[in-house]
Structure 1
Amino acid sequence: MLRFLELEICQDLFSEAEDDDSKSLTCAEWEILEELANLLQPFEEVTKSLSYNESCISEVIPTIKTLHFCLSQQKVSSPLAFFKADLESNLKKRFEDLESNINFTMSTFLDPRFKTVFFSTNCFVKIKEYMEMTLIKDDNEANDNVNTIPMKEDSGNLQDALKEIIASSHTKSCTNLILEAEIDLYLKQELLNRSSPTSKWWEKMKGIFPNLSKLVHRFLSTPSSIIYNERLLFRIRKYFGQ
């Protein structure tokens, strides 16, 4: 479409040479076409951004919300008003459940370029709850203790059981307090530059945020799309002549 707009003068000259105005667009039609190109421009930028080799799943929520914002700010003439409204409606419907997916929300939060910028308060609360449960579960599994109190069948000592319950509760409380401190410190750090690699930032900061860094490998390693994988498979097939 942009290429066609660039050929506007050529199209007009061709119509004049052919002496046939029916082969040329009117001024109003050119204006609508240019307006449509501007309206769809953010979609092209989003497609390119999320198709990048190093693009991560953490970029999806910020990108979609930014796209919503761009569309809401776009002013269009009456011929394109219905098209724009339909575009916004379908975009909202397609991604309305994005924040309910813990993979997207966790990866966005753990990305030092975004953190909580694109989240509501309720969503952030759910993220914290999930992190607490995940880290406690990981600690329990590391200690061969899966949220149950081991009881000896030949022992009826309630005092021992009570001590184990208290110890388990104490472990959970300590984990929550440590995690709260890490999250507070993490949020106080300046946002990373948009073009800076997140992997290098976390490599440098993993000693300061040991608990959060455990989750980074799990959530910041997923690509935002399968395009790069498809490119790689295409090159492999081409290499082996298949």
Structure 2
Amino acid sequence: MTRCLRESWDQLLLEGFTVTTNSVITALRTGLDKRLESVERSGTFSICTILDPRYKINVFSDTIEAVKAKKMLEEILATDIRRRRHGENQPQQSTSTSAFIPVRDKFSPWSILSNIVGMQQQQVGTPLSCAIKDVDSYLKDNILPMFNDSGKFNCPLQWWQRNHHIYHNLAILAYKYGNIMATSVP
């Protein structure tokens, strides 16, 4: 929004208003620049912006800051994936005392099928590679329009509810970062 306000005020200054009006516009723009000059360098605001499907990285005025924010999102996501995987690998209590263990028998159809499809599990990838893949896929997806067909604002959290199965890891972060602080000073 700060970028939009700057551009709006720059356009207003070109309109040829009175000197007093132009002074007010200039004062507003100067105040905005002074108070919010580093908003794109704020980690929280940058992550929140990228995770908003209406904006992603398109609204960053500084492409270097957009790249930094993307890398920061990938690192946060990789840490989150690593933490959840570590939790999944913890031994769990079994409620059953006798677990079924399949018999490895050369005549068993299940053994034959296992040999056909292979015993190796699919490579999951490192947490960072999964994070990079998820973020790149999300950023390549279409931008959510600001308004729906009936002219109402689209809600990014509703978008995440509809798409959480596609971007599961990112959706968890979107719910965490998907709010904005009510302050003009980051």
Q: Indicate the residue corresponding to 2:144 in structure 1.
A: 192
Q: Which runs of 5+ in 1 are unaligned?
A: 1-62, 145-169, 227-242
Root-mean-square deviation (CA, aligned residues, Å) is 2.4
Determine which of 91, 105, 129 is the counterpart of 1:177: 129
Check conservation: 1:132, 1:175, Cα contact below 8 A. Answer: no
1:215 and 2:173 correspond: yes
Check conservation: 1:107, 1:216, Cα contact below 8 A. Answer: yes
For residues 224 and 193 of structure 1, do their structure 2 counterparts lie closer, same or farther at Cα, with a shift above 3 Å needed? Answer: farther
User: Which structure has the larger Rg?
Assistant: 1
**Higher relative contact order, structure no. (Cα contacts within 8 Å, ≥ 6 residues apart):** 2
Q: Answer 1 or 2: which has greater helix percent.
A: 1
Amino acid at match of 2:68: K
Which consecutive segments of 4 or more residues in structure 1 shift more than 4 A?
Answer: none
Q: CA-to-partner distance for each residue in 1:200-241, whole Å, 9 max, x for gaps? A: 211121121122112111100x24538xxxxxxxxxxxxxxx
Q: Which runs of 5+ in 2 are unaligned?
A: 88-122, 147-152
Q: Which residues in structure 2 correspond to 1:17-166 (within 5 Å)? A: 63-74=1-12, 75=15, 76-119=17-60, 120-142=62-84, 143=86
Q: Indicate the residue corresponding to 2:107 in structure 1.
A: none
Q: CA-to-partner distance for each residue in 1:49-102, whole Å, 9 max, x for gaps? A: xxxxxxxxxxxxxx2221111100002233333332222111110111111211
For residues 193 and 71 of structure 1, do their structure 2 counterparts lie closer, same or farther at Cα, with a shift above 3 Å needed? Answer: same
Aligned residues: 137
Further displaced range: 193-202 or 126-135 = 126-135
Check conservation: 2:75, 2:128, Cα contact below 8 A. Answer: no
Q: What secondary structure does 2:126 align onto? A: helix
TM-score, length-scaled by structure 1: 0.50
For residues 105 and 223 of structure 1, do their structure 2 counterparts lie closer, same or farther at Cα, with a shift above 3 Å needed? Answer: closer
Amino acid at match of 1:209: Y
Determine which of 159, 162, 175 is the counterpart of 1:201: 159
For 1:136 and 1:224, how far apart are their aligned partners in 2? 25
